[in-house]
Amino acid sequence: MPQRPYVIDQMISAKAIAARIEELAREIEAEFEGTDKLVVIGLLRGSFVFIADLVREMQLPVEVDFIEASSYGDGTVSSKEVRILKDLRGEIQGRDVLVVEDIVDTGFTLHHVIHMLSARKPARLKTIALLDKPLRREVNFKADWIGFEIPDEFVVGYGIDFAQRNRDLPFIGKVRFTD
Residues facing residue 145 across a β-bridge: 128
Q: Is 87 a catalytic residue?
A: no
Taking 80 as the threshold, does the pLDDT of residue 77 lie above it? no
Percent of the chain whose predicted confidence (pLDDT) is above 90: 78
Phi-psi region of 76 (alpha: psi -120 to 50; beta: other; left: phi over 0): alpha
Taking 60 as the threshold, does the pLDDT of residue 125 lie above it? yes
Give the chain's mean pLDDT. 92
Q: Are 79 and 73 a contacting pair, CB within 8 Å?
A: yes
Vertex 49: Cα angle to 13 and 43 (nearest 5)? 125
This prediction has a pTM of 0.91
pLDDT of residue 1: 45
Taking 90 as the threshold, does the pLDDT of residue 3 lie above it? no
| 51-72 pLDDT per residue, tens | 999 999 999 999 999 999 876 5
Q: Which of 105, 144, 161, 179 is catalytic?
A: 105
Fold (CATH) for 14-72+79-152: Rossmann fold (3.40.50)
Q: Are 86 and 98 a contacting pair, CB within 8 Å?
A: no
The widest CA-to-CA distance across the chain, in whole angstroms, is: 54
For the chain, give every domain's residue range: 14-72+79-152
The residue length of the chain stands at 179
Q: Are 68 and 84 a contacting pair, CB within 8 Å?
A: yes
